[in-house]
Amino acid sequence: MGIKERQERDREAVRRSILDAARELFVAEGFQNVSIRKIAERIEYSPAAIYGYFPSKDDIFFALAEEGFRLLGDPSTGDRRDHLAALDPLQRIRSIFWRIYEFSREHPQYFALMFLDRSVPRISKEYERFTFARETKQRVIEELERGVKAKVFPPTVKPAVAMRVLTAGLLGVAALKLSDRMAPDEDADLLASDVLDTAIAGLRAGVALKSPAATLPCASEPIADQQAS
């Protein structure tokens, strides 16, 4: 390994340690209560060294949020695309939304930071950086539109509103679990499944959606921004 490659590897290792320490501190203490100095103390670096990697605490959050959205995944790419292609339209929609709850189980710190902490900066400030997240949201809406065309849902269903309904139910169960608000005998996985199935059944039965699509956050805001609204 050459000197340049070693330097790049070492720099990436330090960057990784900064992000890991910041993620843990943000979740444990709240974004607004964590300083660059506190992050530096956690990894035994100077605050000046942190600024050599990230210009501000906001930039650290944006890097973590970007990682989180990529971990959440895009249903139109990679293995997920192949898996979804083998499902019928109804099961495909269910699988796409179930991934939100799976993400909360697999990456609880990212989930808490992205969806539960209201003090984090707005992701819409980094418009270009999160283009992929907005595009993913649009593809989910298009999947619901295909569900309407395939008569999985009645034509009265508004795909953008339906997406919010299905997302909000799963986020709610995940939040209950992560905030330790579940009853001792409750199973969060089963509750999440019940919530998703009930919401889908309601949409299929033609329950009127009162929320006008025009009042929803625009496509320029990823889901995390919308949830904090």
Amino acid letter, 217: P
Domains, the chain, with CATH or none: 3-55 (1.10.10.60), 64-228 (1.10.357)
49-90 confidence digits (pLDDT tens): 999 999 999 999 999 999 999 999 888 787 788 888 899 999
* HSE of 202, CA atoms in CB hemisphere, 13 A: 14
- Tell which wins on pLDDT, 131 or 226: 131
Indicate the helix (H) or strand (E) that contains 12: helix 3-29
- Rounded-to-integer distance, Cα 57 and Cα 36, Å: 6
Residue whose token pair is 């005998």: 185
Q: d(Cα 123, Cα 127) in Å, to the nearest integer?
A: 7
Nearest one of 90, 141, 124, 156 to 220, comparing CA atoms: 124
Per-residue pLDDT tens digits for 90-144? 999 999 999 999 999 999 999 999 999 999 999 887 878 899 899 999 999 999 9
pLDDT in tens, 19-35: 999 999 999 999 999 99
Which single residue is written with the structure tokens 């008569």?
A: 151
Answer whether residue 176 shows pLDDT above 60.
yes
